[in-house]
Every structure is written in C-alpha cells, then in structure tokens.
Amino acid sequence: MKRILLAFFVFSGMLISVAAQQKTITGIVTGAEDNQPVIGATVQIKGTATGTATDVDGKYQIVAREGDILEFRYVGMKTREVIVGTSNVINVTLEMEELGLDEIIVVGYGTQIKSKVTSSIAKVEGEKLMNVPVPTVELALQGKSAGVFIEAVNGKSTGATRMRIRGSSSITATNQPLFVVDGIPITTEASNLSGASINPLTSINFNDVESVEILKDAASAAIYGSRGANGVVIITTKKGYSGDTKINFTVQSGFNDPSHRREFMNAEEYISYFRDAAKRGDAYEDLVYGDPPGTNTYWQWHVEQRLKRYSGWAKILEDPNNPSSKYLGSKVDTDWQDLAFQRGRIYSADLSAQGGNDKLKFFASGSYNSQGGILVSNGIEKFSTRLNIDNKASKNVDLGFSLALNRTAIDQVSADNAFSTPMQLVAMSPITPPRDLNGELYNTPVTTYYNGLLDVEYASRDIIEYRSLVNTYLVIGLFNGMKWRNELGFDLYNLKENARYGEKTESGTGVGGYGFANYGQNQNINGKSYLDYINTFGDISVSGVLGTEFQYTTVETLYAEGQQFPLDALKTLASAGLITGASSTLTQYSFLSYFSRVNFDYKTKYLVTLAGRVDASSRFGKNNRYGFFPAASLGWVISKEDFLAGNPLLSFLKLRTSYGLTGNAGISNFGHLGLYGVGNYNSLSGLLPSQIPNPDLGWETTRQIDAGIDFGFFRNRISGEIDVYHKKTNDLLLQVPVPATSGYQTQMQNIGSVENKGFEFVLNTNNLTGNLTWNTNINFSINKNKVLNLGGQDIIDNGSARYMNVVKVGQPIGVFYGAEYAGVDTENGDALWYVNEQDADGNIVNPGETTNVFEDANFVVLGNPTPDYTGAITNTLSYKGVELSFTFQGVAGNKIHLIGDQWMGANGVWYDNQLKSQLRSWKQPGDVTDIPEARLAWDNGDQSRNSRYLSPGSYLKLRNLVLGYEFPSKLVNKIKLSRVRVYLQAQNLITFTKYEGWDPEVSTDFLVNNIYSGCDFYSAPQPRSIVFGINIGL
C-alpha cells in the first residue's frame, strides 16, 4: 500500500511542476431579462469542485488558469460556459431557462434533452456515487431513484444484490434489469461453487461513472426489446474534453463494523435455562402419558450429560435441583458472535486524468480498493484501469474506443446456513471454549455443531475475477443531420475459484483433505450498426435511429475436485493424491435484433416518440423465435402555451403518457429443447431423456402503460415528477404438470400472468442559495404486485418445512404462507394458533378461534417479503467550503422470515445457544408473554411455517452521510494545486426498525430465486462503514 501511495504522489509531483500559471478572475453576473445582478449564482471551474458564488451585487472572484472553463449556473437559468483567456475580467449574462429541465439524458442508442423526454427515466449523476464505501455500483444507487428497490442480500463482501425496477414480473425468469455499460449489454451472472453468491458488477469502478440512467417504463426500454421487461440501467463512463488536462487523485481509509448485534444468553443463563427446560419437558411428559408428577426424569439426566459434553467434559456440580449450581471448569463464557465478526479495514486510491483538444479527447484512470469484511476470513480487493479515447479523424469521421481492465479478488465464505459459515458460530453453546488446553480448536462432539473456526484456520476459498470491457466505434457523417454509427464491443469475464479444506475441516475430515478448482468464462460479443438522424424544419424537430444489433455469448466452465493432500500447506489441486471428479460445460446463445426510434416535436411543446425492436433469440422454440416489441409515448409542455407563458409561479409543466411492450429472455439456454442426461445401470452408462421439448416456447411479454407529470416552480427552485403505471406480464415461463403417459412430470410452457401497479413521486427543492446553499431531494414509491393466473393452479408450494414462501393467485410473488401464531395460553404455557377455517370463498368462518394443536391450524397468507413502500430523502448543505450531505432511506409494508430463530428461539427444543428473549418464556399460570413454556425435546411453538418467526421488515436507515471541507482556492493555488478537499463519509450509520434480527435488509443467499425472498437464515448484517478521505486536484 505504501508503495502505491508513493507512486501516486511522485507522479502527482511531476504533474505539479508543469502546472500552468494561475490568476484571479473577477466579474459580474446579470440576468438577460432585467439586467439585474444575479445573487447567489454558482461560478465553478468545470471538472473540479473549485467554485464560488456571486454576492448581493452579482460580483464574484475566483482563481483559475488560462484554458480553464468557468461554469455559471443559477436555478431557472441556462448554464453558460466561458473559457478563461488573457483577460482578468469576465462578465456574464444568464438567460432564462426556456426548456425547463434542460439536462442531457442518455437513452438507448442516443441522448435526449430531459424537457423533451416523454417516458419515465431516472438519472443519477456520477458525482453522487464517487467514493461511496460499498462493493458494487448498485448499492451506491440505493435511495437515489423512485421506483427502484435495491438491497444487499446480506453483509458479506461479495456485493450480491437484488435490484427491482417497478416490482417483480417473473416467477422463473430473471427479475434483474439489463445493465448496459458504454453501449455493451454486460454479463451480470456468475457461477461459483464454494459459498455465497457473488456479483460480477463489483468489477465496475464507479468513480469512473459519468451518469447512470434507469429506464423504467416500456416506452424507454422497448428499444431493448426482449431484455427490457425488468428495466434497463445504462452506465456511461467519463469522457475527455477540449482543454487543459485535469488530474484528480483521491485516497481514503476507514473500516467496516457490523451494523447490529443480537443478544444471546451467557453461560450462566444457558445452563439455568436448559435445566429448567429439562424439568418442564419431564413434567410435560408426565402429563402426556398420564404419569404421576415427577415420574419422568430422563430429560433432566440428559441435559446434564449434554452440559458436560459441551463444556469439554469439565466438572459440573452434581446437583441439578440446586438453582445456584453453576458450571465450574475454567469458568468459560464464550461470545461466539464476537468470534464470528471482525473489524474490516478499508483502503482505496484513485487517480484519473482528463483532457484533450479539438482532435483528441481522453479520460484515463487507475484505482485500487480493498475492503475487509465484517465476517472473519471475508473480504474483497479490486484493481481497475480505464482508458476512453475520442478522436475527430476528419470533418465527417469520428472514431474512438473505451477499454476497462479489472481484477477482483474475494476471500469467500460459505453460504448462509452452512455450518462452516462464520454466522453459524452463534449456535454454539456459551459454555464451550473455542480451544482446548493445547490450543487446538474444539469440534464435535464437544461443540453443538461443527466449529466454523476450523474453516477459518484450515480452509481457504479464493475467487479471482478478471473482466475486460472493450467498445470501439466509428461514426461517419453522411449528410446534414445524418450519421452512420458502428460499434463493436467485447465483454470478457473470467472467474477462477480455488477451494482447499484441510484435514481438520468438515469437508476434509477422513479423506486426507479436500479441494476443488472451478473455472468459468463468459465471452460476450456485441455489434451494432445504425443511422442517427436529427434535423429541424421550421417549428418541427425530428430525430431518430434505425439499425441492427447482434450479440453472441459463450459460457464455459471447467471443474475438478480431489482428496488426499499430503500437507495442508499444499493448496493447488495438483497436490491431490486422488482426483475424485471432473466436469465441464459449454453453452452458447445469441440475439439478432432490428431497432428504431423516431422523436417528433412541434415548437418544443408537442412531443411524440415511437420506438420498436424485433428480436430473435436462440433461447426460444423454432415456432416462436422472433418477437416484436413496439412502444409509443406522447408529451405536452403546457408551460409553453400562451396562456401560461411568463407565469411567475410556474416555470415548467409537462404531461406525458406512454404505452409499450417489452420481453424477458432471462432463462436457461435450452428450455425449448428435448434434453438427455447420463444414467448408469449395471456398470453401464447410457442416455436418459430429462426434458420434454416445446418448440412453441417464447418470451414472457410485459405490457406497461405510464402517465406522468414533470413540473417546476419559482424558476425551478422547486421541481419534480409524478408517475403512475400499470405493468402486466403475460406468458410466464412455468413448469406445468403433463400427463404421466408422456414419461415426464412437467414441461416448460408460457402460461400465467403477473401485474404491478404503482405510484412514484420525486421532489427537488433549492431551499437556500448564496454562500449558504441547501438542496433537498425526496423520492417515494408505492408498488403493488399480484399474481393473476398460474394456468389453472391456485398455488405453487414446494412443501418446504423450512421456507414459507409460495406463489398464490391474488397475492404478491413469494408471500409467506403458514399457520398464524396466536400467542401463549396464560394458564399452561401452550403455544396457540388461529384455526382460520375458511369457507368456499376463502372467508374465515370463526375469526379469533384458537387451538394448541398445530396440525389443526389452517394455513393462510401471513405477509409479503417485498416492501409496498420505498423512499429516501437527501439534504445537501454547503457553506464556504464546508459541505454536509445525508440520505435517509427506508422501506415499509414487508415482513421477514427469521428462519434461524427456529433454532435460536426454539423454547429449549434444541441445544443451540438461545436468544436472551427466551428468558421471557412462560413460567407459571397467569404469566402474560409472547414466548411459550420451554420444554426440552417437546415442540411448543417452534414448528416451521408459522407467523411466530415473522418480523416487521420496515426500516429507516441513515444510508449515507458526507461531511467535507474544501480548502480556499487562494490557499491551495499557492502550492500549485487546483483543489484540496478532505472528507468523512459513512454508510449505514443508523437503523431505525422493529425488526428482531440482525438487519432488515436481508434475503438469504442460501437459496436464491424469485420466490424465496425476505428470509434471514443466519445472514450477516450490513456493514457500518466509515472512511476518511482526501481529494487533490491538479
């Protein structure tokens, strides 16, 4: 690390020596309409944070160099850019903003002015993502856009996330959006074997990002056709510009800590609790079998044997009836939760250069980022470089390329609920010492379960990802307004995984150690050629694109495993004495597409956009291989009408509506084919049919209608958007039962439908201007998801005793379905359940009727794992170089299944360490509590699939906080720098919630699909991250 920093500073020093001469620029900013001073206008050197504001007379003063570009901005007025020349005085006149919200929006295969956009698109500026201490770009987007729900599945350092744009539309196909980076649709899936899910998007350096556009409705996403149903995320990286080269260097350091810990029993409480549970278990056995009280004592004997074993057979006082009887031995009281967690260190450094001239523009960057995880032996390290070149080869020819090279190394841990994952350590008894007197780690039978610390010490799971993103382009000007653009892109993603388990580990015991190597490669070639046209005919403006695109993807994997390693220190598979298995796969798929979009506007107030795409994909049957995805949208800028022109209150008002059709091709490559698998009989191998063909298999299709309003008041000091939408997906891809005479159980078919309805609201306010500025952004969303049809089925339920998620007609995807917990019988401590008997129409016959027999309770819908409401509020304040920004983000209306609590809060049925809340269990008649009597070995409220283990998932988080100070330009200019800024940034600082688990932002990686969401299965909490950084500009 020291060498890296030294190299950066040496390079920076070389650049300082050639810095241009700086000087003080003064001037006055006035308004074009009234020629009056503009108070509080921002004057900033483009590409830097160096800036100032005009005073009450409209005057300003700033230190800059010749060739710098000064940006003059004021809310409600057009931004002006002026290049610093020889003069020391620059006076500027600002015109009123005629087009309202006038920023440039990146859309599919082009750009548009926001005021002319007739669809629903959210834009996030890259500067809002810079240096956020999270592993992946999606997490940096949390809380930035209405209608976009993003959550990390747990707190591991793999970056695995769920991202939903306007809800979930599929049961079996992907619900993740399409990601497009600099024009290339990129790979977002990876196949790893040794543990938790990983995210290939961790390779993207979001300090390189210029902007992120999120296409939310069908009108904007239809141009991506069969891959646009879940929305599209367009990531555009930074480009060069004509002017002096700007050097930017940032370094930061900090730490990750667990954002929350749960309270478990200590050793004394554990012993007392289980001895009491044993007595009550025996007493309950007397009751069940009709024996006289005190007849049965087996469980009291049993608990003493277990306590001896779990304590490493240390001596225990042989008086279980004495409440003061305590575990003697070495007085061990192990906090296993503390052993699972660690403080992870964060280091990062980023260096970039940006500049060019009229002929050649460039952006180059290099970065290093290391984040230690909050779980022992978990962390991530990233290296990335980027070079973007744009060349004006001649008057009519432009060409260029973007190149990104990334390496990501992950110290992996097991998936949730694996005994080897660090979070499972919390199940250990607190009377068990981690190590024996010889310093060796204890394992079963002393420990309750396998001691996961053995994996920390004697196993390694290393993943290395390499990603290369290359995109080249050639643009030829044909005639006035018409250009021919050609692009060829390549996304190469390689994953190399090595796992090695020593002889003392669970996987390596008895086989002389175990290891495997897994290699995967995704090659994605993308090419496109299209015409881009823009022209104006009087009051009519026309623009559009027309072209074709292809994508060819190859996915390869190679796997081998072995045993009998001579030494634990030998990590590679070549050292294995016995290779026990090997396999490989090769799959390919392709898309061929034709697309078009036409934009019309009349006097910039009547707007029409038509778009469409024809897609063909190898993933679908020969009878349904082609799909057509059209869209249309309209807009009316009412504020341009004569009856509203010059209105001092209303700055901008636009009505828009859209309708379109998109598809979902995110399924397996061979779902339409008849497949065979390998079988063995009598030592002979052969082929067995494994999948019935379906030549009619086609796309899931989503029809969406959207209506919205864009508004601005008081020179756009108050602006925002309101959207309502209805989104219906038909032809769901489902496994449908087929007659047994076919020789198969199911066939993949297009059947069923799902809908999403929603409301989105965005409000931006500029509360204060001048030396003290205060801006606020608020976004709020409602989404209602419903399954409409399952092809004649009412419910899809795999019958799991562990998971409660099902798909049921009339309910959201993945609702919890089980028995409804009714509390505790105050007289005998029994767990109670609502009977919930239903008539033919689904109505409860006797509301409130309870039973203490779990089997007599009818299953009902208990809650939704997906939030109904999401929102965020961001405030940014700035005063004379000091900036404070903070974002509160939250969700509401969902529940989370605490699966692990079925063992950690099981009323003494299991010997796992118990949560402290179990000390509130029922003790005697009259006790009012929500926790039934603890009865060792007897179920009493711990049964699977019931609402007792559901917890409210609503939360409000202080998601991000930044406090920074930028030193005065007069001071930093003396040392030949253009900018020096120091800052503190925190992520997940505070969480307000009623959730009983570690963190309400969770969806276990133990079983990942569209149905099983909202489950906490020993899932790590999100890290609380705090970093300190310095940014230097040259």
Average pLDDT for runs of 10 along the chain of length 1034? 44 40 90 78 82 86 91 82 92 72 84 92 90 86 94 83 92 91 84 62 88 94 93 94 92 96 94 94 90 90 90 57 48 91 96 94 96 94 96 93 95 84 92 88 88 93 93 94 95 92 90 92 95 92 95 93 91 91 91 96 94 92 90 95 83 95 86 78 77 85 96 90 97 85 81 96 92 94 96 86 90 95 96 93 89 94 96 95 95 95 89 94 96 93 90 97 92 88 96 96 82 91 96 92
Q: Is the N-terminal amide bond of 445 cis, ω within 30° of 0?
A: yes
pLDDT of residue 995: 96
**Which pairing describes strands 815-818 and 860-863: parallel, antiparallel, or unpaired?**
antiparallel
Pair (146, 67) in one structural domain? no
Domain match, 380 and 512 both:
yes
- Kindly state whether residues 404 and 512 are assigned to the same domain: yes
Report the CATH number that the domain containing residue 376 is assigned in CATH. 2.40.170.20
State the Cα–Cα distance between residues 555 and 523, nearest whole angstrom.
7
Do 507 and 459 contact (CB within 8 A), yes or no? yes
- Asked if 159 and 202 touch (Cβ cutoff 8 Å), the reply is yes
Whole-angstrom CA distances from 1019 to 326, 416, 640, 1016 are 33, 6, 54, 6
- Same domain? For 479 and 586 the reply is yes
Q: Using CA atoms, how far apart are residues 963 and 1010, in angstroms rounded to an integer?
A: 38
Residue 388 within a domain: yes
From 52, 80, 96, the end of a domain falls on 96
Same domain, 391 and 538: yes
Handedness of CA 83, 84, 87, 92 (dihedral sign): positive
In a domain, 478, yes or no: yes
φ and ψ at residue 710, rounded to 5 degrees: -110, 135
Residue 59, domain CATH: 2.60.40.1120
What confidence score (pLDDT) does residue 261 get?
A: 95
In a domain, 272, yes or no: no
Place of tokens 């060069």: 240
Alpha helices in 818-975 (DSSP H): 901-904, 969-973
Q: 33 with 125, same domain?
A: no
Identify the burial level of 233 via C-beta atoms within 10 angstroms of its C-beta, where 0-12 means exposed, 13-18 middle and 19 or more buried.
buried
Angle at 764 between CA 755 and CA 149, to 5 degrees: 30
Distance of CA 292 to the CA centre of its chain: 59
Give the span between the Cα atoms of 97 and 115, in whole angstroms. Answer: 11
pLDDT at site 740: 77
The verdict on 134 and 52 lying in the same domain is: no
Read off the tokens for 645: 């022109």
| 301 belongs to a structural domain | no
> How many C-beta neighbours within 10 Å does residue 440 have?
12
State whether 80 and 148 are in the same domain. Answer: no
One domain, residues 90 and 128: no
- Number of folded domains in the chain? 2
Please tell me the total number of residues recorded for the chain in this structure: 1034
User: 81 lies in which domain range?
Assistant: 2-96
Cα-based angle 539, 542, 543 (whole degrees, multiple of 5): 150
The DSSP annotation for 203-271 comes to G--GGGEEEEEEE-SHHHHGGGGGG-TT-EEEEEE----SEEEEEEEEEEEEEEEES----B--HHHHH
Q: Is residue 629 part of a domain?
A: yes
Residues 472 and 588 in one domain: yes
Query: How remote is the C-alpha of 534 from its chain's centroid?
Result: 37
Q: What is the dihedral of CA 891, 895, 901, 907, to 10 degrees?
A: 130
The sign of the dihedral angle between the CA atoms of 835, 839, 842, 844 is: negative
Residues 719, 605, single domain; the answer is yes
DSSP conformation letters of 297-311: -HHHHHHHHHHHHHT
Closest among 155, 127, 121 to 139, alpha carbons compared: 155
Same domain, 503 and 539: yes
Which pLDDT belongs to residue 4? 45
Residue 291 lies in a domain: no
Neighbours of 839 (CB within 10 A): 8
